[in-house]
């Protein structure tokens, strides 16, 4: 095994300040998009907390209000809190922004060919339309299940 010494000196530009990303609009857009992951984490923690409160309920054949007291507290006092409502609206807007930016990125990241014998790619607008149609379809199904079930 040969021991070759490398004289390569990689250039590592110094980071002058913590707000380096505010100097370029591309980096601002990127950091805002990546920051939506924190808000998605908050939404997931809220759902997990709701599942935990449901698990604390004593569910049986004859359920009284006292048996589901933790879930009622979660729905009325926690989710009904104005701070949580505002936070959920911010989370919704951030996730819609994340979806729009992801849908615009998807045709560049995933190459979909027209058929197996050609190298011609599917137009970007077709992929975007399919993603938006899936988003709208999933939203309609979730709303229908939420409002039509008893």
The pLDDT profile of the chain, 150 residues, written as one tens digit per residue, is 668 777 888 888 888 888 888 988 999 998 999 999 999 999 999 999 999 988 888 777 777 777 888 888 998 999 999 999 999 999 999 999 999 998 998 888 887 777 778 778 888 898 899 999 999 999 999 999 999 987
Q: What is the pLDDT of residue 69?
A: 87
CB atoms within 10 A of CB 127: 20
Q: What is the pLDDT of residue 5?
A: 79
Q: How far apart are CA 29 and CA 52, in angstroms?
A: 36
CA nearest neighbour of 105 among 122, 126, 124: 124
Q: How far apart are CA 49 and CA 131, in angstroms?
A: 30
Q: What is the pLDDT of residue 141?
A: 96
Q: What one-character DSSP code corresponds to residue 21?
A: G
Q: What is the pLDDT of residue 112?
A: 77
- The pLDDT tens digits for 56-94 are 887 777 777 778 888 889 989 999 999 999 999 999 999
Torsion over CA: 116, 119, 121, 122 (sign): negative
Q: How far apart are CA 122 and CA 115, in angstroms?
A: 9
CA nearest neighbour of 69 among 81, 51, 56: 56
Q: What is the pLDDT of residue 95?
A: 93
């Amino acid at each position: 095994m040969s021991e070759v010494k490398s004289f390569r000196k990689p250039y590592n530009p110094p980071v002058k300040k913590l707000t380096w990303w505010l100097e370029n609009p591309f980096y601002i857009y990127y950091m805002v998009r990546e920051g939506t992951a924190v808000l998605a984490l908050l939404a997931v923690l809220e759902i997990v907390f709701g599942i935990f409160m449901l698990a604390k309920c004593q569910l049986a054949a004859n359920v009284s209000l006292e048996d589901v007291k933790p879930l009622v507290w979660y729905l009325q006092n926690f989710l009904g809190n104005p701070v949580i409502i505002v936070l959920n609206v911010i989370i919704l807007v951030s996730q819609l922004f994340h979806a729009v930016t992801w849908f615009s990125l998807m045709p560049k990241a995933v190459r979909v060919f027209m058929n197996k014998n050609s190298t011609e790619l599917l137009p970007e607008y077709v992929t975007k339309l399919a993603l938006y149609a899936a988003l709208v379809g999933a939203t309609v199904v979730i709303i229908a299940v939420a409002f039509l079930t008893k």
